[in-house]
Structure 1
Amino acid sequence: MRRAPLRYALRHRTYLWLVDLDHLPVLPRFFRPLARFSAADHFLGRAPSIRAALDGFLDEHGIDLHGGRVLMLAHARMFGHVFNPLTVYWCHGPDGALRCVVAEVHNTYGQRHAYLLHTDAAGTAAVAKDFYVSPFYPVHGCYEMRLPLPGERLRLSVQLQRPGSPPFTAAVQGTRRAATAPALLRLALRHPWSTLKVSAAIRFHGIRLLLRGLPVQPRPGRRTPESTS
């Protein structure tokens, strides 16, 4: 939901995976093109695993999970393509307590940025915006992210707040389903090329906003995947 200077709202249906980083699903050979998780799609893209990449990021911030469980919410690579506007990692210590949350953001320019969050009891944290995402917003303002650990229902939201401007809000809602082979096949038939549709939809709606006269903000110099905050 965009409230200013043009009011604009959209909804998009898709499906996401909630996985344990130490026990990523191993699918039957026939289904593997429908879901694959690769370290190249996250953080620096050079670690041997997504877990190793996350641990390296946390180590830079003085956090050691000592092998604690990490749950990741993300799109899987489907037919060789993946695009994750937001990947969320819930990071636990060995005692099972939540230590922190990492929100990894990808833009349509092939860049990545990770935010380290220490959420409150409601799963909420605020962090300064430090990454160019939409061409219609400059790189300043503050995100209020509400990222509670999913239960049977998933309810996440990210709100961009800037002085003197109504907030921009993005929300993700869903229902947990077991990742059985029949369920995956149904979802793949119902949402074919789901991650490609996500990136295409972002560009489509961007063009619509541009044609309606929404001004474009200049993009800062290239940010490397190493950028974190």
Structure 2
Amino acid sequence: MATTSSTLKGGLLLGRVMHRRLQPLRRAFHYRTFSICFDLDDLSLLQKILCRFSPLRFHDRDHGGRDGSPLSAWIRDIFAEQQIEVSRFVLVTYPRLWGYVFNPVSFWLGLDEAGRLRGVLAEVNNTFGEHHSYLLAHADRRAIGKGDWLVANKAFHVSPFLPVEGQYRFRFHLEDQGFQADIHYLDADGAPCLITQIAGQRRDLNISSIWRAVLQQPFMTFSVVFFIHWQAIRLWRAHIPFHKKPEPLQQEISL
């Protein structure tokens, strides 16, 4: 099977997010977004691009230990502990825009020397200020194929309209000029409940491309939170069962 490989490095990803709920109410919506992707070894170069002339920023404290400590050591330790051999990491995430960001999910892509995807850390945030990560890789640590599904047991409360049970299925498609993640949520009986797709086409990351994206979506990071709450209101009005928020997880990563 062909493996997911890429020379994907620094760039601006212009794309969209699609959600399709299948039960107990069928409903779909999508919205445009832009994100940044960059090789972790190029973080200093990224910070030079996101200079004082840019409305975008990237802060270390938005990821990892949330304390501003070096991200490279944090993510490399996680992969090394699980014996996932990679040579570099590419992070796909929303930047801060006008000082604000909310990242429903960021992806740490672990690539080997040949550019093959070996593992992914899906770093998830909820609107209650909590975060949790899912480490995704094949049990035998082989390269991840383009059509491969990676499964993780749901452990983190994200939406009050979905229980903390069942499974996520992840699939990734990387190209030199694009990125796509498919995420399916299945309930405890294995029935699909929610389908999400995150996709973006790469553009060079520079001041011109940044301002073009911002002028088209001047409040993108704010709109992410708006859409989440707007859909929650619609589900509440449709009398979708409400699940009480559980106690926060003690562990930060699900393997």
Asked whether the two chains share a fold, i.e. TM above 0.5, the reply is yes
Q: CA RMSD in A?
A: 2.1
Instruction: Supply the distance in 2 between the matched residues of 1:227 and 1:130 (Cα, whole angstroms).
Output: 9
- In structure 2, the residue matched to 1:80 is 99
CA gap of 1:49–1:36, structure 2 versus 1, over 3 A, is: farther
- In structure 1, the residue matched to 2:207 is 181
Match among 21, 37, 50 for residue 58 of structure 2: 37
Instruction: Supply the distance in 1 between the matched residues of 2:181 and 2:84 (Cα, whole angstroms).
Output: 24
Show the 5 A alignment for 1:70-109. 70-94=89-113, 96-109=115-128
Higher RCO structure (Cα 8 Å, ≥6 apart): 2
Identity %: 31
Show the 5 A alignment for 1:1-229. 1-24=20-43, 25=46, 26-27=48-49, 29-32=51-54, 34-63=55-84, 65=86, 68-94=87-113, 96-118=115-137, 120-122=144-146, 123-162=148-187, 163=189, 165-223=191-249, 226-229=252-255
CA gap of 1:150–1:46, structure 2 versus 1, over 3 A, is: farther
AA paired with 1:139? V
Instruction: Supply the distance in 1 between the matched residues of 2:186 and 2:238 (Cα, whole angstroms).
Output: 23
User: 1:99-158: CA deviations, max 9, x gaps?
Assistant: 311111111111111111115312531111111111111111111101233432322110
User: 1:47, 1:53 within 8 Å by CA — same for their partners in 2?
Assistant: no
User: 1:35-88: CA deviations, max 9, x gaps?
Assistant: 2222211132125232233123334434464xx211111001112111111111
Q: Which runs of 5+ in 2 are unaligned?
A: 1-19, 139-143
Instruction: Supply the distance in 2 between the matched residues of 1:27 and 1:82 (Cα, whole angstroms).
Output: 18
CA gap of 1:39–1:52, structure 2 versus 1, over 3 A, is: farther
Comparing both structures, which one devotes a greater share of its residues to strand? 2
Q: How many residues align?
A: 226
Q: CA deviation at 1:95?
A: 5.8
Q: CA deviation at 1:202?
A: 0.3
TM (norm. structure 1) is: 0.89
AA paired with 2:210? L
Deviates more, 1:104-113 or 1:160-169: 160-169
User: 1:37, 1:77 within 8 Å by CA — same for their partners in 2?
Assistant: yes
User: 1:112, 1:227 within 8 Å by CA — same for their partners in 2?
Assistant: no
User: 2:50, 2:56 within 8 Å by CA — same for their partners in 1?
Assistant: no
TM (norm. structure 2) is: 0.81
